[in-house]
Amino acid sequence: MINATVTIPKQADYSVTAAASELASPAQSRAQTGALKSWKDTMSSRLALMAFVILGASGALADDMKMPMNGKDIKWGPAPPFFPKGAEFAVLSGDPGKDGLYVVRLKMPAGYRIPAHNHPTTENVTVVSGNFHIGMGDSLDEKKGIELTSGGYGEAPAKMNHYAWVTSPTIVQVHGQGPFAITYVNPADDPSTRK
Ligand SMILES: [Cu+2]
């Protein structure tokens, strides 16, 4: 189109062509701008998508994505010091010490008791095995509680005082928004401050 305009010798033709090209040019440049814009948009959305995919994939593969696993393959460690002694703990997802969703499990021996406490965020408890007794109130009372067995679920809203105990070896899964913390109603119950 541009080459044709340059090589046409006759003024009339040129004028016509020029006029045509003047007429054409705003539209053309609009079209080009439009094309460029949409290409840019397409590219940026493609790049954004790629970045998302790459970040998502590398993030997931490198850090976050845990391979599916069976209960027997879970690596247990000692529970954080603010849990009464004797429990084992496993982090399945996230970091309970930080903001964001966490999924952890707590394995407790028969007779394990968690005195009255609350959490800064809602605690969601799913019983994996055993029997987990949970009650609401400011002090642990084994006469007041609900026994949850395998598959059972309970939740303690943020700041609500509650307590728990188990009468057989029990595993519960706890999930919620981090950071996870325990505030005991009676500070003397806090094993992390007790010597
Ligand atoms: Cu709790």
Residue percentage of the chain with pLDDT more than 70: 66
Please tell me the distance between residue 78's alpha carbon and the centre of ligand 1 in angstroms.
17
Distance CA 172, CA 164 (A): 11
Please tell me the distance between residue 26's alpha carbon and the centre of ligand 1 in angstroms.
69
Chosen domain end from 20, 49, 64: 64
Instruction: Give 64's pLDDT tier (boundaries 50, 70, 90).
Output: low
Please tell me the distance between residue 156's alpha carbon and the centre of ligand 1 in angstroms.
7
Q: Which of 154, 57, 165 is nearest to 109 (CA)?
A: 165
- pLDDT reported for residue 34: 44
- DSSP 3-state of 68: coil
Asked whether residue 143 falls in the same domain as residue 167, the answer is: yes
Which of 21-35, 100-114, 123-137 is predicted least confidently?
A: 21-35
Please tell me the distance between residue 163's alpha carbon and the centre of ligand 1 in angstroms.
6
- DSSP 3-state of 107: strand
Please tell me the distance between residue 182's alpha carbon and the centre of ligand 1 in angstroms.
7
Whether the CB-CB separation of 99 and 169 falls below 8 Å is answered with no
Please tell me the distance between residue 33's alpha carbon and the centre of ligand 1 in angstroms.
60
Please tell me the distance between residue 97's alpha carbon and the centre of ligand 1 in angstroms.
15
Amino acid (1-letter code) at residue 40: K
Please tell me the distance between residue 125's alpha carbon and the centre of ligand 1 in angstroms.
8
Distance CA 137, CA 119 (A): 13
- pLDDT reported for residue 22: 44
Question: Does the pLDDT value for residue 54 go beyond 60?
Answer: no
Asked whether residue 128 falls in the same domain as residue 180, the answer is: yes
Please tell me the distance between residue 71's alpha carbon and the centre of ligand 1 in angstroms.
22
Instruction: Give 44's pLDDT tier (boundaries 50, 70, 90).
Output: low
Amino acid (1-letter code) at residue 107: K
pTM: 0.68
> pLDDT (tens digit, 9 = 90+) per residue, 107-132?
999 999 999 999 999 999 999 999 99
Which of 42-56, 57-71, 149-163 is predicted least confidently?
A: 42-56
Amino acid (1-letter code) at residue 101: L
Distance CA 79, CA 182 (A): 12
Asked whether residue 83 falls in the same domain as residue 177, the answer is: yes
Asked whether residue 42 falls in the same domain as residue 98, the answer is: no
Domain enclosing residue 28, as ranges:
2-64
| 39 C-beta neighbours (distance < 10 Å), count | 12
Question: Does the pLDDT value for residue 27 go beyond 60?
Answer: no
Q: Which of 138, 84, 124, 123 is nearest to 107 (CA)?
A: 84
Please tell me the distance between residue 102's alpha carbon and the centre of ligand 1 in angstroms.
14
- DSSP 3-state of 136: strand
